[in-house]
Amino acid sequence: MKKQIHLKINGIPVTVPEGTTILQAAKQANIEIPSLCYLKDVNCIGACRICVVQIVGRKGLVASCVYPVEEGMEVLTNTPAVRASRKTTIELILSTHHKKCLSCVRGNNCELQKLSYDYGIDEDRFKGEEPIYKIDDSTPYVVRDNNKCIQCLRCVSTCNKIQTVGAIGQIRRGFDVHVGSPFDLGLSTTSCVGCGQCIVSCPVGAIYERSNIDDVWDAISNPNKKVVFFTAPSIAATLGECFGMPVGTNVEGKMVTAIRMLGDVSVFNMNVTADLTIMEEAHELIERIQTKKPLPMFTSCCPGWIKFCEHNYPELLPHLSTCKSPQQMFGAVLKSYYCQKNNIDPKDLYVISVIPCTAKKFEVTREELSNHGIPDVDVAITTRELSRMIKGAGIAFKDLPDSDFDQPFGVATGAAAIFGATGGVMEAALRTAANLLDGTNEKVDFMDVRGVTGIKEATYRIGGTAVDVAVASGLGNARKVIDMIRSGEKNYLFVEIMACPGGCVNGGGQPVQSDSVRNYSELKAKRAAVLYRADREGELRASHESPVMHLLYDEYFEHPGKAKAHALLHTTYTPRDKN
């Protein structure tokens, strides 16, 4: 047990474990010290100097995010000297900041804008040469605007330390220093996987998703298009945050109502094809175990992880499940089964996926995820983009009544709901695999693979076989798991990997929460709790129990892994250069 340190912050007694920083300790006194470069578990470098405080009896100011507490220390966070220092620092940052706040995607949700208001900033106090950078819009999923970058390096730390991708870093020196890709080339030339974690870590509007909102509005207004939306499992757990609702609020019913109010559209539940993914994936896992095909089998739902594997571990591609992601499976089902049942030409069906993930924007562009030149999914929009569409349409979201998804793709199981949390795909697959192997196995709760810990391991006996499994979220943790497998230290049969720490609930397309929320609350756990609650309270908790699965296989796919199912619901992967 760590030694306890006693100190005072603005005269308030505080007791914290040894090694705690002043910034962390201040929260116990209900004081939030402002910062820009600090982000819990991501970046702690003391570079921005916004978090400076004064220590009684010592000269100068110190950066509270990196300064550890000491016994008997007295800290002052709001003296004239502290406030003057912070104000000057903010004004210096603004001297080279492209102040297009009215049209910025982070307007009213920008840490720099908030601090400027709180400290009564004169944005033109320091006028100097403002560097002009070319906007990098070379990828289909993210846009980088260095004209708004404040050099906090949170995105760099996320990409290099948390995700271990290394697509961006600091380039050049002095006044010319900026964040960019090697040789100042576009992100499309790098091994960027599109996870979007740089977006949710950025405190300003220097990185944001490439918007497809206009494409969606155009489709809705096109009388020759039949427009279909479907929403990923975690959207209902996070969309409310965009409208000021508490973290952890389930807004599924309001979400369906709001989307339906956007125009003449159908609204389906992507949880349906999460169930379908489990039916195919569980069958594939059993077949691999029984036939000694490449093991361990890795899940393939996350396009960020898939692209990471293609760039960094091409020798593992035969170990990836061949199942398409739930997003792409839904598109394939809609443009085959659904079109045939409703006499719709697939070319006239416009499929919109609402997802928590910017990598899904890349996924819809992959040639192997199309049929005769027709993409499975036409466009993917993030949680944030959907919220902007709802706001732009003048819809009072919080006052909406609840609605149900349209049929026949409205009913899904709890196993599908938990897809949005790390460990959810693993647990859902185990529920069905155990039943298929044992016949009567009705186990539904696999607690060892739950929680937001970066790496989780467990062993279960299924059909008389000991199945060692692992779950990793965050690509840095994925590397650790893969290294253990390659060295022979671990011998897993089944591995789930999600690119984003905590899974889809913390995806790169999710609502950007303020630092006061991200630094001082368990955001990922609160969001995931919504999904586990939906699972626990639902009537159906295993994918093989879904009536929609019986409908699809009885009427169209026959059986998991059969020829038609394999042709439409499975895919292949491509080795890529490691830049």
How does strand 374-375 pair with strand 370-371?
antiparallel
DSSP for 110-122, please give it: -HHHHHHHHTT--
Each as own residue / partner, the long-range contacts of residues 122-127 (CB below 8 Å, 24 or more positions apart, any chain) are 122/91, 123/91, 123/94, 123/99, 125/91, 125/95, 126/91, 126/92, 126/94, 126/95, 127/95
The CA-based diameter of the chain, rounded to the nearest angstrom, is 80
Helix (H) / strand (E) containing 375: strand 374-375
Q: How far apart are CA 92 and CA 127, in angstroms?
A: 9
Tell me if 111 sits within 8 A of 203, measured CB to CB: yes
DSSP for 31-76, please give it: -----SS-BTTTB----S-TTEEEETTSSSEEETTTPBP-TT-EEE
Q: How many alpha carbons lie under 13 Å from residue 132 in its C-beta half-sphere?
A: 0
Name residue 412's amino acid: A
Q: Is the peptide bond before 346 cis (omega within 30 degrees of 0)?
A: no
Q: Which of 397, 199, 226, 416 is nearest to 325 (CA)?
A: 416
For 399, phi then psi, to 5°, come to -95, 0
Active site residues: 281, 284, 301, 321, 360, 363, 368, 504
Tell me if 527 sits within 8 A of 247, measured CB to CB: yes
How does strand 494-498 pair with strand 465-473?
parallel
Tell me if 541 sits within 8 A of 431, measured CB to CB: yes
Place of tokens 């000057």: 88
Tell me if 282 sits within 8 A of 274, measured CB to CB: no
Tell me if 148 sits within 8 A of 98, measured CB to CB: yes
For 325, phi then psi, to 5°, come to -70, 160
Place of tokens 């390096």: 153
What's the CA angle centered on 386, arms 385 and 390, to 5 degrees? Answer: 120
